[in-house]
């Protein structure tokens, strides 16, 4: 929608002044559905979100999600949804995330609520306070490029963020400082498939 909104005034102006030739290469570039994200973003195929045994995933969400996230809500958002999200502020007001993690001195690993794959690490390259401030300002946990595990995270051409297991995560909503991955906490509240949660990559800033 945003790209169309940017193109329409340009075309109206061209028509109004009767420009004899519109650069269709520019038009195609502005209206193309091709990936709009450069490295390090890994673009995924729509087939990742094809129907499987349980919605877009092979399995339901884990029963014992972290931070007291609701399993029913998580299952709907992760496996039977492409566009909707947990309520703004849910991660802050309806879970124990902040209470549990504020005192944690290590980097947090966020695991896929279905598969248990590690998807995000944070905060990385910034302080805990900065991560929380940005997430609060947008209403959802917000990650940056350095905090994404591209082994398991993909961005579809329309900006939808998904996991390689078919879990809907959220959307990439770039701003003036770069890519910003607006992610549902219920989608990344899983536990690792091959070990305890107490696995951290490094110190939390």
pLDDT tens-place values along the chain, 205 residues long: 444 334 444 334 333 334 344 343 444 444 455 547 889 999 999 999 999 999 999 999 999 999 999 999 999 999 999 999 999 999 999 999 999 999 888 899 999 999 999 999 999 999 999 999 999 999 999 999 999 999 999 999 999 999 999 999 999 999 999 999 999 999 999 999 887 765 444 445 5
Are 91 and 97 in contact, with CB atoms under 8 Å apart?
A: yes
SS3 118: strand
Structure tokens at 87: 């309520």
Listed in sequence order, the residues at least 6 apart from 188 whose beta carbon sits closer than 8 Å to its beta carbon are 110, 111, 112, 113, 119, 120, 141, 169
Tokens linked to 1: 């929608």
Contact residues for 18 (Cβ-Cβ < 8 A; gap 6+) = none
Residues 6+ apart with CB under 8 A from 149: 117, 118, 119, 120, 121
Name residues whose C-beta falls within 8 Å of residue 142's C-beta, 6 or more positions apart in sequence: 131, 134, 135, 180, 181, 182, 183
Cβ atoms of residues 43 and 172 within 8 Å: no
Backbone CA torsion sign across 130, 114, 167, 94: negative
Rounded distance between C-alpha atoms, residue 103 and residue 199, angstroms: 16
- Give this prediction's pTM: 0.80
Which residues, including other chains, have CB under 8 Å from residue 102's CB and lie 6 or more apart?
A: 128
């Amino acid at each position: 929608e945003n790209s169309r909104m940017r193109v329409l005034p340009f075309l109206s102006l061209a028509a109004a002044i009767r420009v004899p030739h519109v650069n269709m290469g520019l038009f195609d570039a502005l209206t193309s559905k091709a990936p709009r994200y450069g490295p390090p973003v890994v673009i995924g195929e729509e087939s990742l979100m094809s129907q499987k045994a349980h919605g877009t995933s092979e399995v339901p969400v884990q029963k014992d999600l972290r931070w007291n996230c609701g399993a029913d809500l998580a299952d709907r958002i992760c496996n039977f949804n492409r566009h909707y999200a947990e309520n703004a502020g849910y991660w802050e007001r309806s879970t124990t995330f902040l209470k549990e993690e504020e005192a944690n001195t290590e980097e947090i690993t966020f695991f896929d609520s279905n598969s248990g794959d590690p998807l995000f690490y944070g905060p990385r390259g910034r302080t805990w306070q900065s991560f929380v401030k940005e997430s609060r300002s947008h209403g959802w946990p917000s990650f940056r490029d350095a905090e994404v595990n591209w082994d398991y995270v993909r961005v579809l051409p329309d900006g939808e963020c998904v996991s390689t297991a078919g879990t809907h995560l959220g959307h990439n909503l770039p701003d003036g400082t770069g890519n910003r991955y607006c992610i549902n906490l219920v989608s990344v509240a899983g536990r690792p498939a091959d070990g305890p949660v107490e696995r951290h990559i490094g110190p939390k800033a």
